[in-house]
Amino acid sequence: MAAKSLREIRRAAAAGIGSRRCFSGDAAAAAAAAAGVAEGKVGGGAGKEVNLFTAINQALHIALDTDPRSYVFGEDVGFGGVFRCTTGLADRFGRNRVFNTPLCEQGIAGFAVGLAAMGNRAIAEIQFADYIFPAFDQIVNEAAKFRYRSGNEFNCGGLTIRSPYGAVGHGGHYHSQSPEAFFCHVPGLKHLRTLIPWDKETVEASVSKTGKLLVSHEAPITGGFGAEIAASITERCFQRLEAPVARVCGLDTPFPLVYETFYMPTKNKVLDAIKATVNY
């Protein structure tokens, strides 16, 4: 389990955007750990608790170390990224494999699709998920459909697009959105945050034991992925449910700056929903 929450990492990063000192200790540890994994010095089933930032940094080190056709790119990626997740990569693997791009999300995604179609491992970063919408056509109509429309002659299966989403702590409506539901609706894309495919069997086993389910996410409640989970579990576990599936989600409004706490599915809202479900 992550030692620090993603929100804690984001808040610290937002306070130090542009600073090379931000997370310098964690970055050094991540690079050392990644090198150890690549050399076979770490592993064997022995887990080590790390925060999410360190885990991402390690994974990128391993990807670049084990596959010479892997490339990492995006806005500010070359100097370590605004969240410092790519710290140390350019120094170790060179700026031909870890590099900055122009501030053009459709260009980042389009380049990534082409790079992957040529047999490379393209790891593209969209700095904030809020910025991903200009690249929607490249992701939804190009990347997701490339194999299908070419009759399996071409594919861009080596493409990974990574982007942080959710509240950063007073980021306003252009740095706080959770657009995952848009992409979960697209055949051909895999949402690696366990959403597409999502683990129905584990949730079903839990509901079979408790007879209850509460789903929570920061995205607006209407059309959110929580509705898909609720519908699927209702279909599969209807006779085992002892209460309606509850949802605690964001509001159907733009993400507010001043009223972020009012908008968010806070622990008090979750607790109230748990009590209502248990006492149904």
CATH number at residue 72: 3.40.50.970
125 falls within a domain: yes
Q: What residue ranges in the chain does DSSP mark as E strands?
A: 70-74, 98-100, 121-125, 159-162, 214-220, 246-250
Residue of 183, 173, 271 lying closest to 218 (CA atoms): 173
Residue bearing tokens 């071409």: 154
Tell me: the pLDDT tens digits for 4-37?
Answer: 333 443 444 333 333 333 334 444 555 555 555 5
Burial track 213-244 (b if 16+ CB lie within 10 A, e otherwise):
bbbbbbbbbeebbbbbbbeebeeebeeebeee
190 falls within a domain: no
Domain shared by 159 and 227, yes or no:
no
Domain shared by 83 and 204, yes or no:
no
59 falls within a domain: yes
The answer to whether residue 2 scores a pLDDT higher than 60 is no
Last residue of a domain, one of 150, 184, 218: 184
Tell me: the pLDDT tens digits for 157-197?
Answer: 999 999 999 998 888 889 999 999 999 999 999 988 778 89
Give the integer Cα–Cα distance in Å for 70 and 80.
17
What is the number of domains present in the chain?
A: 2
195 falls within a domain: no
Q: What is the pLDDT of residue 45?
A: 53
Q: What is the pLDDT of residue 168?
A: 83
Give the integer Cα–Cα distance in Å for 100 and 96.
10
Domain shared by 178 and 217, yes or no:
no
Domain shared by 79 and 138, yes or no:
yes
Q: What is the pLDDT of residue 8?
A: 43
The answer to whether residue 217 scores a pLDDT higher than 80 is yes
Burial of 21 (0-12, 13-18, 19+ CB in 10 A): exposed
Domain shared by 204 and 180, yes or no:
no
The answer to whether residue 93 scores a pLDDT higher than 80 is yes
Sign of CA dihedral 70, 76, 78, 84: negative
Furthest-apart CA atoms within the chain: distance in Å:
59
Domain shared by 40 and 123, yes or no:
yes
Q: What is the pLDDT of residue 34?
A: 52
49-53, 114-118, 123-127, 274-278: which has the minimum mean pLDDT? Answer: 49-53
For residue 277, the 8-state DSSP code is H
193 falls within a domain: no
Domain shared by 39 and 128, yes or no:
yes
Tell me: the pLDDT tens digits for 254-270?
Answer: 999 999 999 999 999 99
Q: Tell me what the mean pLDDT of segment 205-217 comes to.
A: 97
248 falls within a domain: yes
Distance of CA 85 to the CA centre of its chain: 13
The residues assigned a catalytic role are 105, 175
Distance of CA 120 to the CA centre of its chain: 21
- The band of 245, judged by pLDDT with boundaries at 50, 70 and 90, is very high
Q: What is the pLDDT of residue 10?
A: 42
The answer to whether residue 88 scores a pLDDT higher than 90 is yes
Q: Tell me what the mean pLDDT of segment 270-277 comes to.
A: 98
SS3 214: strand
Domain shared by 87 and 144, yes or no:
yes
**Structural domain boundaries enclosing 265:** 200-278
Chain-wide mean pLDDT for the chain?
A: 87
Last residue of a domain, one of 159, 184, 209: 184
Q: How far is CA 131 from CA 178, 184, 206, in A?
A: 11, 17, 36
CATH number where 230 lies: 3.40.50.920
- Percentage with pLDDT > 90 across the chain: 77
Question: Token pair for residue 223?
Answer: 């059309």
Q: Tell me what the mean pLDDT of segment 126-147 comes to.
A: 97
Domain shared by 205 and 115, yes or no:
no
Last residue of a domain, one of 156, 184, 212: 184
Q: What residue ranges in 13-112 does DSSP mark as E strands?
A: 70-74, 98-100
Residue of 16, 46, 14, 17 lying closest to 33 (CA atoms): 46
Q: Tell me what the mean pLDDT of segment 51-56 comes to.
A: 93
SS3 95: coil
Sign of CA dihedral 39, 161, 125, 114: positive
Domain shared by 176 and 211, yes or no:
no
The answer to whether residue 146 scores a pLDDT higher than 60 is yes
1 falls within a domain: no
141 falls within a domain: yes
The answer to whether residue 98 scores a pLDDT higher than 60 is yes
Domain shared by 174 and 218, yes or no:
no
Residue bearing tokens 């895999």: 190
Q: What is the pLDDT of residue 33?
A: 56
Domain shared by 54 and 109, yes or no:
yes
Q: What is the pLDDT of residue 195?
A: 84
